[in-house]
Structure 1
Amino acid sequence: MDISFVEQLELLDALARRERIEQSGGTSSAFPPVLERLGVTASQWEHAVTVTSRRFARELDIMAMMFAEARRRS
């Protein structure tokens, strides 16, 4: 299944909202979409996730190099 990250987020939001509605007996209009609740557009969200993912990947690379060096030294 080939869907964008925003589509995945919207699907997750819809599922969570449905679950919440079923538990509380509320209506779907009581719970606005997740991006609306966050106050961001889809493109702003994708940009933030991309930037964060790059930073996280760099940190993982650094940790992997440190781990490899520690194993080499022991």
Structure 2
Amino acid sequence: MRLNRGGNRRLNRALYTIALSQAWHHPPAMAYIARRQAEGKSRAEALHCLRHRIARPVFRLLQAGQLESAQAA
């Protein structure tokens, strides 16, 4: 199942900015981009994969925060 690409535009932009910054300055992210490009993906597709990789833990943190606030109420 594919998530809606429209979604929260501000959150998508923030994740894109983080991915772009990591792609330039963070060696593990640079290696991840290179690995994806070696698989035949374009740089834009590799950045999309990196953005998704960054989004997973962020989403888990957001969900955990919602659970905590729901339990406190």
| TM-score, with length taken from structure 1 | 0.40
Task: Give the structure-2-normalised TM-score.
Answer: 0.40
Structure showing greater radius of gyration is 1
